[in-house]
Copies of this chain bind each other. A is one copy, B any other.
């Protein structure tokens, strides 16, 4: 940050008149008296690489948007569908496989139930979507589970929803990435052994892109969603045609049937429930549209609701269609010798071994990476909302602030990458941790809506209330089922983490509340001006330009200025006093002999005795400790200079009635 704004400094002397008359013009709009609005230049990159990157980014993903511009550039339904649905739609890439993996335990006969279960889950999806349409209409400013429950239920429940969502964002990244890698591995089996590495690398690339300011607003983000939807729909049409019209469907061969029967458990309600719970992962990501209502073109609520309906319809079609093909082509998950996903086998059966199969795999993997990317936007955004409400450290609320945003991105990427390493990049092993949080959040938001309608009692609220009550009951039941049947597979981890996160966020909230209470100032009346006296203490190491500058600063701000020289060398002390009294006669110099050769503690002790010498009936003065600071130009300067000042500062920060003033001395000035 040294050196300020480059563009201005680069101006020629002839520009000076302009600068003086309207100096703020490049950075600010003058909005009113004492009111400036920062232009983009005010937060423009000040380094060369920063500017180059900004240009590159400008080409690919558009320029950064200001809060109001962002609202200005509303999304059409087509674009919104692509951007908000990638997470939900992409779950069709692994949901079928999860169902088959459970049913396989019941033998070949059980596998036939796959279709029924996918239809049941699709019905659940439609019910949830209808419930969420209510939220789009009731909360046109964006209604995530956290917002809805905070407004309608209460602080603790909303924090449960927030915790569940935070966990789910991590899981979205981990599951989508590992599934994407499995799609790649299905096309290129030679990469199987590198799947963990590829997954971690992919997360790193997505994280870095987001750290550098990738935004999902660009057109390129719409492509993968439509490419996948299009090619998957063609695959389903062609596949269904071949099965139903041409009768090309296959049945599970006798070898496999007998192999499976040997270890099969009887087809039970529990097995069906487990398959249902496994497939319920198809619903993850449904909330995104309800959260993003303000991004739609007006009428926002209506457009969002329509988009949600289309999304649910598409997802249901894809999910049922892929499951139908998988069951009728007698496809089973293959883990050995290399992983081959069910959707890849379906695609291979329909499209053959040619370029079309590889393209489909590419589209699927791209969509899954895009789904992972959505969490990199949503996770810091939720952190920012939580920080705004005082449940996360405040710095997370500064969304335009690269560093705070970066923390969120790095935390998310690290957790997701960690999960991929721990679970060896296996989507199947990760899934049990996934849907639990999502269904808890669903249930909480639907329940919040019940309270909302009961309070609002707007016209026709009874019907809306009934819809949300139905949704809440349904998602509540599914939440219990999912948690129960997946408990020992990993769902317990989520149930342990949620209370921990809620506890931390409540604690932070109490801390900030206590601080605000403590700092509160009465609302009325003019606040009195300063009444304390002040004195300046300047630790010096001799007479030099940096010291003179600090002394002059001290003289400018207070009448009582003293320099303090700590030494164990009496000769040097006497020489300095002689020179000091000659050159700076109006500033008293105190020599503190330090026979123990300490420097920091004698200064602190000296400040202590100054305070204690003050008459006890008068308020002690503010002590301003002025520290000359030599500004580093090279990395080694940081080692060679200012070390004593740094430690003195550390010793004094927090001292009563003490202000520390750093007076920088710049080399070459």
Shortest distance in angstroms between A667's beta carbon and chain B's nearest beta carbon? 6
Instruction: Verify if A568 is at the interface (C-beta below 8 Å from B).
Output: yes
Instruction: Verify if A589 is at the interface (C-beta below 8 Å from B).
Output: yes
Whether B599 lies near A20 (C-beta < 8 A) is no
CA of A516 to CA of B653 in the docked complex: distance in angstroms?
Answer: 29
Residue of B nearest to A545 (CB): B519
A486-500 vs B, CB cutoff 8 Å, 1 = contact: the mask equals 000000000000000
Instruction: Verify if A254 is at the interface (C-beta below 8 Å from B).
Output: no
Instruction: Verify if A36 is at the interface (C-beta below 8 Å from B).
Output: yes
Whether B641 lies near A515 (C-beta < 8 A) is yes
Whether A579 lies near B523 (C-beta < 8 A) is yes
Shortest distance in angstroms between A10's beta carbon and chain B's nearest beta carbon? 13
CA of A644 to CA of B584 in the docked complex: distance in angstroms?
Answer: 38
CA of A665 to CA of B518 in the docked complex: distance in angstroms?
Answer: 11
Which of B27, B531, B579, B664 is in CB contact (< 8 Å) with A654? Answer: B664
Residue of B nearest to A531 (CB): B552
Residue of B nearest to A534 (CB): B556
Instruction: Verify if A585 is at the interface (C-beta below 8 Å from B).
Output: yes
Whether A36 lies near B606 (C-beta < 8 A) is yes
Whether A512 lies near B28 (C-beta < 8 A) is no
Shortest distance in angstroms between A303's beta carbon and chain B's nearest beta carbon? 24
Instruction: Verify if A399 is at the interface (C-beta below 8 Å from B).
Output: yes
Shortest distance in angstroms between A613's beta carbon and chain B's nearest beta carbon? 4
Whether A604 lies near B1 (C-beta < 8 A) is yes
A402 partner residues in chain B, CB cutoff 8 A: 598
Instruction: Verify if A16 is at the interface (C-beta below 8 Å from B).
Output: yes
A20 partner residues in chain B, CB cutoff 8 A: 612-613, 615-616
Whether A655 lies near B608 (C-beta < 8 A) is no
CA of A663 to CA of B606 in the docked complex: distance in angstroms?
Answer: 20
Within 8 A of B (CB), among A610-639: 611-613, 615-616, 622, 624, 629-632, 636-637, 639
Residue of B nearest to A611 (CB): B4
Shortest distance in angstroms between A16's beta carbon and chain B's nearest beta carbon? 6
Whether B37 lies near A512 (C-beta < 8 A) is no
Which of B68, B552, B604, B631 is in CB contact (< 8 Å) with A4? Answer: B604
A131-159 vs B, CB cutoff 8 Å, 1 = contact: the mask equals 00000000000000000000000000000
A383-422 vs B, CB cutoff 8 Å, 1 = contact: the mask equals 0000000000111001111110000000000000000000
In the complex, how many residues of chain A place their beta carbon closer than 8 angstroms to a beta carbon of chain B? Answer: 136
Shortest distance in angstroms between A305's beta carbon and chain B's nearest beta carbon? 28
A533-568 vs B, CB cutoff 8 Å, 1 = contact: the mask equals 010000000011110100111011110000000001
Instruction: Verify if A42 is at the interface (C-beta below 8 Å from B).
Output: yes
Whether A67 lies near B595 (C-beta < 8 A) is yes
Instruction: Verify if A298 is at the interface (C-beta below 8 Å from B).
Output: no
A636 partner residues in chain B, CB cutoff 8 A: 511
Instruction: Verify if A596 is at the interface (C-beta below 8 Å from B).
Output: yes
A601 partner residues in chain B, CB cutoff 8 A: 38, 42-43
Whether B644 lies near A398 (C-beta < 8 A) is yes
Residue of B nearest to A523 (CB): B579
Shortest distance in angstroms between A121's beta carbon and chain B's nearest beta carbon? 39
Q: List 30 A-B contacts (CB under 8 A).
A: A2-B655, A4-B604, A4-B607, A19-B612, A20-B613, A20-B616, A27-B605, A34-B588, A34-B589, A35-B590, A35-B591, A36-B593, A37-B592, A38-B601, A38-B602, A42-B594, A42-B602, A43-B602, A394-B640, A394-B644, A524-B583, A526-B583, A526-B584, A527-B548, A527-B551, A532-B552, A631-B653, A654-B664, A656-B669, A659-B662
Give 6 nearest A-B pairs by CB, closest first. Answer: A400-B597, A66-B595, A519-B544, A557-B557, A530-B556, A23-B612
